[in-house]
Structure 1
Amino acid sequence: MAKQAKAKLDRKGLGSLGLEKLIDILLDEAAANKALKARLQTALAGEMGPDEMARLIDKRLDAIDQSTARINKARARDMAVEFSALARNILSELGAVDPQAGAERILRFLGLRFPISARLVADSARLWKVFDDTETAAQELIQSVDAEEQVLLVPHLERLRLRDRYGEHTGFLLGLTSVLAAPGAHAWRDALMAVLADEPMKFGALDLAQRLSLRLADIDAFLSLEKRKPENRRDTLTVAALLAEAGRFDQALEWVRERPRGMRLIPVNGSLTSVGPEYGAHERRMLEAEILERLKRREDAQELRWREFSETLNPEVLKLYLSKLDDFAEFEEMDRAFAIAAEHEDIYLALDFFISWPRLDLAARLVERHNHDWEGRYYDDLAPAAEALSAKEPRAAVLLYRALVEDILRRGIGMAYPQAGRYVGELARLMPELPDGHGLSTHAAFLAELRRNHSKKYGFWSSVPGGMQG
């Protein structure tokens, strides 16, 4: 029996329906589907040229902008579909034939976000996703506009920025500063500079003007704008890094030594963030040392690196310090570094340093010397250290694992009982590897002590290999 052919929804299948049938179907669907209707109208307008297409899109954008009707959840869902189609029409239909006109309309579209939010009865993640997705495509469209025509977009960019009261488009606007060609970047910066005196010191005109100055490689303009900020808005570390990268080391040294006092509001990953005076302290000291090195002040740079290591016990800082020494001098300095780490007031920092260097023998010596000082709540330090020490320094590993188990049980951290049970399993494995005369209580004695003090913590004992019998 011959296999019956199946109808397929593809170009060949639809073509077999005939033009008249397809027209009837599209008209029926368009009567009930606003998104489809708008797309068909835009396509028809495109046959008459981009001006007619732009007129039709403007008419729809005006209607949305001027509406004051409240938007319930059901209407918000429908609008998400409708807006997605409208954005697609602007980007794909109009933008394909007239990128500059398409860019103007897509910026108008993005500006609808605020009036729409004021009309919503309840928040709509689906609707906001349409705007977020459109921003990515809009940036690509704006980048494709001819350099001279990008200048014509500046009034639309400013209109969008001023409408953006709550920073929804901050990331988009910042992203545009890196894709505009020189004419557009100059024109937008000039527009921003004209309104600086009238705007509060928020993340707005001044910050965008600075980003555009970087786009134009105009560091002097960037510095001038930074000096206009109040002290609690200045990002002296970023300025110093820019100056150092440009080879202006004397200026960079002045800025890097302008250490902040008190809380500041500075851009962090594109968002205005409140940070304390110690934010970026390590990066600041390392940059200062690099600047001093470039200014031929090697001794001052090394002194700063050594001071940074002595405080932080950062292995990378020590490696950098040692790499700058004369031949054979590193061995003596390394011994001095190990001595400082061994006497450091933060024993957990010291343990991390010896483990990561690695000097497991010195880590084990530190563990032994502070046998009764380790607190299991610092498990992020102790657990990896115990694991690293297990093979070559089993006695030190036992001390750390016991500290971890005892702390978990003493504080009754139920969610950590399975982990404590695994630590007991490690202890059972390590104890036979200890040499005679190791000076520690046996594993059986350790378990007996746990049973006396924590016999009713069944969640723990159910995780111990062998249960309460150990």
Structure 2
Amino acid sequence: MASKRTLNPQNLAALGPEVLAELLIEVSAGNAVIQRRLRLALAAAEGVGSAAQEVRKRLAAIDRSSTFLDAAKRKALLSDLEAQLQAISGPIAAADPSQACELLLRLLELSEGVLGRCFDSSGALLAFFGRAAQGWGPICQAAQLGPETLAEQAAELLAENSYGQFDGLVPALKDALGDWGLKLLGSYIRQHGAADGSTYLLQVAVARGDVDGYLAQFSAEDLRWRETAASVATHLLASGRAEQALEILDGATEDTDGWPQIDSLDCRIAVLDALNRTSEAQQLRWQWFSKSLSIPHLRDYLKRLAAFEDAEAEERALQQAEGHPVTLLGLHFLVGWPALARAASHVLAHWQEWDGDAFEIHTAAADRLSAKFPLAATLLLRPMVFFALWTGNARRYRHAADHLRSCDQLACRIDDWQGHQDHDAFVLRLVELFGTKWGFWKLVDH
């Protein structure tokens, strides 16, 4: 049972309205954001008209401002905008969807100005406007806004989409626009000359289910790229045109930056499955697993095998991982599968090869192995300690100290070091090499 001093709505409500009112006045003193939220709450209590007027007034003030937004001001503005959005999409939308629709459009129109006067390093403001755009469709649908008006407004927003805040707008408006509205939107996009007009026209075609219109947006040169071809083939496959999808994939010859595209591979596998060319799809799955040790591709491969064949194939896969030329990738697979006993043997067999810079794989593997295979876990933790000290990376010292303490705890469970240094000898070697790294040793002793 929660303490009566726990800050929750029930305990605060028990204080009574007068006490809470005094506290709110006190905490809002000098805090413009909280004061505006309180005024908005008071306006909402008077009715939807007063709340809408308060929101409209605040949005106009934000629009007039030209001050550069530093980190503190950016955070305060985000909180302010969140409050306006909550009011619009909550009580105002419930009582008057048409007015909410108009206010949310006004808020969206602020995005270019707001994003243009700040360095949105965290992406929080960009994400806010993207989320607000996602919510515009349902409100417009509730307001029964005419498709002509909505299509024109949407096209105007897309024409001012410098930061990508409206990249998801077309799919969000699909239901509110309907087929006729989507068709109009495509026409308006061409008229307004949006910078990424071709992208939006693709989204319109997808939303309309117009596969041929979608396909017409790509030139033969575009379809030479496997990434583009995979995207097109995916839409063709979803429309039941698997043969045409395979033709598109077969015609693609170029990889972005010379790297194979996993999306292209997965699309080809899906197309082959749709065409009942199961053996070819299975061969692709195994080929990709052999190269990448991808667990999802192996699982898909195994579940399609006939009874009693999967165990043999799994053993072959484990051997493939153990003999993979990239030992770290083999470890990652064996731990993730999981085959922990074989992972521990893999660690011991390749103990000189472990890379202390591979923090994520080493840490996860050591954590999984520590319960039953303390020596293997130790041999993965030690390189990370050594790497941090050898590179003098002070930001890694806290982690390295934690790893060294873990080695100390594991040592009491290791009866046979199998020719490796015991823990005391390892620490002594660290002191000899890095005894002057005082910042690290202070963390170890802490």
- 8 Å Cα contact 1:189/1:209 also seen in 2: yes
Residues 1:299 and 2:279 aligned together: yes
Counterpart position of 1:348? 328
Q: Quote how far apart the aligned CAs of 1:220 are.
A: 2.0
Of 222, 225, 235, the residue aligned with 1:242 is: 235
| CA deviation profile, 1:95-132 (whole Å, cap 9, x unmatched) | 97794x98679757855766x679x9x6599x999988
Q: Quote how far apart the aligned CAs of 1:376 are.
A: 0.9
CA distance in 2, matches of 1:286, 1:190: 34
Residues 1:151 and 2:143 aligned together: no
Q: Quote how far apart the aligned CAs of 1:406 are.
A: 2.0
Residues 1:215 and 2:207 aligned together: yes
- 8 Å Cα contact 1:260/1:277 also seen in 2: no
CA distance in 2, matches of 1:349, 1:168: 37
Counterpart position of 1:389? 369
CA distance in 1, matches of 2:20, 2:438: 62
Q: Quote how far apart the aligned CAs of 1:228 are.
A: 8.0
Counterpart position of 1:176? 173
Of 332, 337, 340, the residue aligned with 1:360 is: 340
- 8 Å Cα contact 2:147/2:180 also seen in 1: yes
Q: Quote how far apart the aligned CAs of 1:407 are.
A: 2.0
The SS at the match of 2:218 is helix
Residues 1:419 and 2:399 aligned together: yes
TM-score in terms of structure 2 length: 0.69
Q: Quote how far apart the aligned CAs of 1:300 are.
A: 0.8
| CA deviation profile, 1:393-414 (whole Å, cap 9, x unmatched) | 2222222222222222222222
| CA deviation profile, 1:250-278 (whole Å, cap 9, x unmatched) | 12222344546365xxxxxxxxxxxx454
Q: Quote how far apart the aligned CAs of 1:43 are.
A: 6.9
Flag the 1:9–1:412 CA change in 2: closer, same or farther, 3 A.
Answer: closer
Residues 1:188 and 2:180 aligned together: no
Flag the 1:292–1:108 CA change in 2: closer, same or farther, 3 A.
Answer: same
Flag the 1:337–1:458 CA change in 2: closer, same or farther, 3 A.
Answer: same
Flag the 1:174–1:425 CA change in 2: closer, same or farther, 3 A.
Answer: same
TM-score in terms of structure 1 length: 0.66
Moved more, 377-386 or 218-227: 218-227
Q: Quote how far apart the aligned CAs of 1:161 are.
A: 3.7
> Identity of paired residues, percent?
25
CA distance in 1, matches of 2:240, 2:408: 60
CA distance in 2, matches of 1:382, 1:107: 49
Q: Quote how far apart the aligned CAs of 1:215 are.
A: 2.2
CA distance in 1, matches of 2:93, 2:311: 69
Moved more, 251-260 or 374-383: 251-260
Q: Quote how far apart the aligned CAs of 1:234 are.
A: 7.2
CA distance in 2, matches of 1:96, 1:385: 55
Q: Which amino acid aligns with 1:144?
A: A
Counterpart position of 1:429? 409
Moved more, 320-329 or 161-170: 161-170
CA distance in 2, matches of 1:113, 1:398: 52
Q: Quote how far apart the aligned CAs of 1:170 are.
A: 4.2
The SS at the match of 2:433 is helix
- 8 Å Cα contact 2:334/2:342 also seen in 1: yes
Moved more, 349-358 or 231-240: 231-240
Counterpart position of 1:19? none
Q: Quote how far apart the aligned CAs of 1:330 are.
A: 1.8
Q: Quote how far apart the aligned CAs of 1:177 are.
A: 3.8
Counterpart position of 1:226? 218
The SS at the match of 2:338 is coil
| CA deviation profile, 1:444-470 (whole Å, cap 9, x unmatched) | 2222222221222222223336x9xxx
Residues 1:254 and 2:247 aligned together: yes
The SS at the match of 2:421 is coil
Counterpart position of 1:455? 435
Gaps (5+ residues) in structure 2?
1-16, 22-38, 70-75
Gaps (5+ residues) in structure 1?
1-5, 11-32, 45-52, 264-275
Flag the 1:133–1:447 CA change in 2: closer, same or farther, 3 A.
Answer: closer
Q: Which amino acid aligns with 2:444?
A: V
Asked which structure has the greater CA Rg, the reply is 1
CA distance in 1, matches of 2:340, 2:93: 67
- 8 Å Cα contact 1:355/1:388 also seen in 2: yes
Counterpart position of 1:50? none
- 8 Å Cα contact 1:240/1:253 also seen in 2: yes
Q: Quote how far apart the aligned CAs of 1:146 are.
A: 3.8
Counterpart position of 2:360? 380
- 8 Å Cα contact 1:177/1:208 also seen in 2: no
| CA deviation profile, 1:292-342 (whole Å, cap 9, x unmatched) | 122121111111000010011012211111111122122222222122111
Q: Quote how far apart the aligned CAs of 1:350 are.
A: 0.3
Flag the 1:278–1:233 CA change in 2: closer, same or farther, 3 A.
Answer: closer
